[in-house]
Amino acid sequence: MAEKGVPAGTGAGREFMEKTKYRYLSRSDQERGLPQPPLELPPNPAARIIDLPEPASLQIPPLDLRTAIENRRSVRAYVRAPLTLAELAFLLWCTQGVQRVAGTYATFRTVPSAGARHAIETYLLVNDVEGLPAGLYRYLALSHRVQEVDLDPALLVRIMEASLGQQFVLHAGVVFLWVAVPYRMTWRYSERGYRELHKDAGHICQNLYLAAEAVGCGVCAIAAYDDDAMAALLGIDGVEQFVIYLATAGKVRERDEA
């Protein structure tokens, strides 16, 4: 059904699909010989940076892939138990972990990405993780560390409010906020790159759903949020960087049952 006042097939969504067909695309900046943007937003030199346990050292109970796929559900009720730093490191590794760096040209990670552009940064609203004060962080995927962004205790409530008041956000151990850096993708694919950003975000979130099964966590994807409010909370402009997707993760059982 068409949006109120917008005839079927003529709305902004339809126009986006039409105008990002190959036949309308201009030459990309890569084709025009412009330099590639960095593989990751540079760390803030003034911010505290925290090392995460190395991916190879993480002791995660093995879980059959079929079991993970069959058991995965969107979970909005969590028990009051913290994630360990190792569990958080595992979830970050499974969603954005960098396995190989090809010079300054590309990264290869635990998730696929159109043209290996990997144009998504991971912000984390930590609420209940052992060893990490609550607050907003950014995952530095290239070095597998997290950087403090903002430890304002009011952020959790504000992020719940910007998620259109979805109350379960308040009880998550951690909220993943994925931020697209569109030029990293459009540099190669021009305007069509915006399509690929959304597909990449889907892969990331699906890996989170499956990885969470191995560490006794439940996940719920969130697409219902106020774009501008969310960008303001993260301190990004909403254009050159914008929130593309969110997900909550929280414990669904105590550790000794995991």
Ligand X SMILES: Cc1cc2nc3c(=O)[nH]c(=O)nc-3n(C[C@H](O)[C@H](O)[C@H](O)COP(=O)(O)O)c2cc1C
Q: Which is nearer to ligand X, 74 or 99 (CB)?
A: 74
Asked if 221 is part of the footprint of ligand X (rule: CB under 6 A), the reply reads yes
Any idea what DSSP says for residue 25? P
Could you give the CA distance from residue 191 to residue 177 in angstroms, rounded to a whole number? 23
- Residue 186 near residue 241, CB atoms below 8 Å: no
Q: Is 220 in the site for ligand X (CB under 6 A)?
A: yes
Instruction: Report in angstroms how near the CB of residue 79 gets to ligand X at its nearest.
Output: 18
User: CA–CA separation, 193 vs 138, rounded Å?
Assistant: 23
The alpha carbon dihedral of 163, 168, 170, 174 has a sign of negative
Q: Which of 73, 80, 198, 253 binds ligand X (CB under 6 A)?
A: 73
Window contacting ligand X (CB under 6 A); options: 83-91, 114-122, 150-158, 220-228: 220-228
Q: How many CB atoms lie within 10 A of CB 204?
A: 24
- The amino acid present at 48, given as its one-letter code, is R
Interaction pattern, residues 31-60, with ligand X; x per rule: CB under 6 A: ------------------------------
Among 159, 212, 222, 233, indicate the residue that binds ligand X (CB under 6 A).
222
Which residue is associated with the tokens 């760096």? 101
Among 223, 227, 228, 240, binds ligand X (CB under 6 A): 223
Q: Which is nearer to ligand X, 141 or 222 (CB)?
A: 222
- Using the contact rule CB under 6 A, the part of the chain among 68-76, 98-106, 151-159, 181-189 near ligand X is 68-76
Alpha-helical segments (H) within the chain: 12-19, 65-71, 85-96, 155-162, 182-189, 193-214, 227-234
- Contacts with ligand X, residue ranges (CB under 6 A): 73-74, 76, 166, 220-224
